[in-house]
Amino acid sequence: MVEASGESLASAREYQLGAAREVLANGNSLVIMPTALGKTLVAALVAKELLSKKPKSKILFLAPTKPLVIQQSARLEKLLSLQEGQSVVITGEIAREKRAEIYADESVRVVCATPQTIENDLHTQNGLAIAGFSLVVFDEAHRSVGDYAYTAVASAARLHANTLLLGLTASPSADEHKVREICTNLAIKHVVSKQETDEDVAQYVQKIELDWKPVELPAEMKALRDEITALAQEPYGILRIIEFLGLTSGRPNKTQLLAARGRLAVSKSPARFRAMSLLARLMNLLHAQDLLESQGVSALHNYLLNLHKRKEESKAVRDLAADFRIVRMQKRCEDLIALGIDHPKLDFLLDLLKNKVSQSKSALVFAHYRDSVKNILERVNAQGIEAKVLVGKSGEGMSQKQQAQVVQEFRDKLFPVLVSTSIGEEGLDIPAVDVVVFYDAVPSEVRLIQRRGRTGRVRMGEAIMLFTKDTKDEAYHWLSRSKEKKMQGIVEKVRDEFSASQAQQAVEAAQAAEPSGQSSLQDYSEKA
């Protein structure tokens, strides 16, 4: 497999050329390909053709984050053989007046931008005119739902018949409604879908060894869980009796709890304030249980400590923080941590990383919570393994400059282990990660595919999923795998529907008009 540094349009594979031909022939398209199969190169092939046919037009390439925008700008500059200054990066950090100058600059051929900035500039005087772009590319197109900025930009672009819309994604969704919403928002007319098992793709795919590692909570942690369950049963029992939860049995999930909170917010019942307090207490306790089961004793301890800092939030939090059983539980956590008992996943992870690093392999570890990332980092470093973290910029996080520096150092193999939150899921340009570790399971098929796709890009890789048996952690594990299989069926269904519609339109067009010579698709095929 060719690394990003060796990419060129001349080295495009037949399936990439074929995908580009399909887009040019069929109009607004959604390209669905697994990570590392070269979706960006397909977009570059389309861009090259449109720029040659419409030399005064420009290309707009959108990506969700600034680091990804910068990365894609550099790739397109090379792929399209652009001169310095012909590919520019637009983000909110550039003054609006300067952005207007860039849009008006006739020497600029490719604008790579964050969608929020483009959305803002669409509504300003002397701002951005979508009509000047022959192609708008939506990277990570699965975000094109709801009120995300992609939707607004696409809405403006759809008004111009000469502007082609192209969505790129490895994982649209296992929700058919969302897939159709993406297609509607991007005015999709055609779907290009390639799988790793396709005959023309398989030879380029590096094998990823998948390994699922279930672990079981030790007796000490189960005892802690029982204490939390007993505490949670109190508000849950009362809420069930007064029928505010709308449940008859079983532990409520987050969606049901949020729905109950919404009903309470508009309720006129005199008991609603008492019910809201009980619901808040229940939600806090169930979250504490989830942290213990999926993250460990340290995560639970930090959460209980934080209750005292949150006492001003509500009476429910104050009462919970002051409950003698919570205070006792906090002390029990401290005793277990002193004994070296945290979570069996952490012990497994440390042994795994020691083994992989001793073989000169690199590892990318995904964890959901920042506290977990910090705890993992401390424990890994304590083993004599150099590791660094990658987290978002909110709160006391990392600036985009710091993020880019850490990623580059990891690419350059200056340290072997990177521990990341979800920020590392999309577009992380690290072509040679040997092992990806899921420290906790994710319920989303999109995130499963995005995380797994960080390995196996240039050589065989490993993806190791850790989950705690008989907990929500395990339920998430099976849910994401089930959704991934479902997603493939939905993609095929939607693709076939578009193909059938286009075939019918082609028949009608052929009946209504005489042949008019060589098509643009034939012309492009010959050039390619």
What pLDDT score was predicted for residue 520? Answer: 44
CB 422 within 8 A of CB 395: no
CB 214 within 8 A of CB 469: yes
What pLDDT score was predicted for residue 252? Answer: 73
pLDDT tens sequence across 277-286: 888 899 999 9
d(CA 240, CA 257) in angstroms, rounded, equals 12
CB 166 within 8 A of CB 31: yes
d(CA 170, CA 457) in angstroms, rounded, equals 14
Which domains, and CATH codes, for the chain? 4-200 (3.40.50.300), 208-215+343-475 (3.40.50.300), 219-338 (1.20.1320.20)
pLDDT tens sequence across 179-211: 999 999 999 999 999 887 788 887 776 667 778
Q: Six-digit token pair at 403?
A: 């993020």
Cα 422 from chain centre: 7
In this structure, what DSSP letter does residue 205 have?
P
Read off the pLDDT of each residue in 117-142 and give the average, rounded to a whole number: 87
pLDDT value at 510 more than 80 = no
pLDDT tens sequence across 288-338: 999 999 999 999 999 999 888 776 777 888 889 899 999 999 999 999 999
What pLDDT score was predicted for residue 449? Answer: 67
Q: Six-digit token pair at 1?
A: 């497999």
Identify the H or E element spanning 438: strand 435-438
Identify the H or E element spanning 365: strand 363-366
Q: Where are the alpha helices (DSSP H) in 359-444?
A: 370-382, 400-411
Read off the pLDDT of each residue in 475-497 and give the average, rounded to a whole number: 82
Identify the H or E element spanning 329: helix 324-338
Model pTM? 0.75
10 Å CB burial of residue 394 (0-12, 13-18, 19+) is exposed
d(CA 64, CA 423) in angstroms, rounded, equals 11
Would you call 138 helix, strand, or coil by DSSP? strand
The band of 178, judged by pLDDT with boundaries at 50, 70 and 90, is very high
d(CA 311, CA 308) in angstroms, rounded, equals 5
